[in-house]
Structure formats: structure tokens, C-alpha cells
Amino acid sequence: MSKDNLTICACGKSNACYTQELNPDYTIHQCYGCGFTTNTLMTSESKFLEEQLEVLPELYKDLVWVDADQHYWMPLAVNRPQQGMVYADGPNKNEWRWAAVKSTHIPESDRKKYPIPGKEGEYYEHKMDTSTIKHFDPNDFIGALDYIGML
């Protein structure tokens, strides 16, 4: 059984860090103030962290920071098919912002253009509408979530 609560984030800027203890050895921290996440496996000697860093975009790698307990924090990427996406966007760690894109409903008549990979005869009902992209300052992750309707 998991235990959930809100805590002060290690970033020191937010009291909106959602902490979820899934078992005594595994806890996830997702800060909705700064927009970064970590878990008990994200330490310097962790295979999990190594695997994450191999597949992350360069910007995400550049934005990773380490807290006082030696946990590595990286930007969240939120993808809610019926609402939209929020992700870190920019050319480098000095010029990045949160990007938010709303989703749109795919009419039944167009769904065959959007097959779900690996699911024969199944199609997406929503897609991201890149014309709705809006950028938010690095300290406004909540604003980006609100823009796509998550709050």
C-alpha cells in the first residue's frame, strides 16, 4: 500500500512536492512547483539513472541537478492524451522554458490515419495540436499544467 503526501521540495522553492512511497525501499518525488522529479533509484551509482540518461534528450540531461541526499532530479514530461503535454523545451539550460501543447479530439472519420502501434485495428482518439503550443517560464510549471487543463 502506498503512502502519499505533499512535502517541501529539495529545490527549496516549492511546498508542492508530491511524494509517494510505493514500498519501504522505493519513493517517488514529483514537484509541481519546480517541475522536476526523482526517486530512490536515481543516485550516482544506480543502473536505473544510467539507463535514463542514455535515452534523455540533451536538454533534459543538462537540466539534471543533484540534491543534498545525492538524488538526481530531472524535468518532468507530462503526457495526458485527452488533455495535452508539458515538457522542457529550448536550445540549452540557459534558454529553456516549459512548453505546453493541448490535445484535440480526432473525428471518427479521420482515426484510421492514427493507428496505435502494435494494436491491430485500434486508433488514437486524441492527438497533440502543435498550433496550441504556449511557453512558460522555468518557474511556472503549474501554469503549463493549468494551460492543458490538468488543474
Residues 136-145: tens digit of each pLDDT? 999 999 999 9
pLDDT by residue (tens digit) across 76-125?
999 999 999 999 999 999 999 999 999 999 999 999 999 999 999 999 99
Question: Domains of the chain: which residue ranges?
Answer: 3-75, 78-147
pLDDT by residue (tens digit) across 26-75?
999 999 999 999 999 999 889 999 999 999 999 999 999 999 999 999 99
Any idea of the CA torsion for 100, 75, 124, 134, to the nearest 10 degrees? 10
**Rounded Cα distance, 58 and 98, in Å:** 15
* pTM (2 d.p.): 0.89
pLDDT band at 151 (very low <50, low <70, confident <90, very high): confident
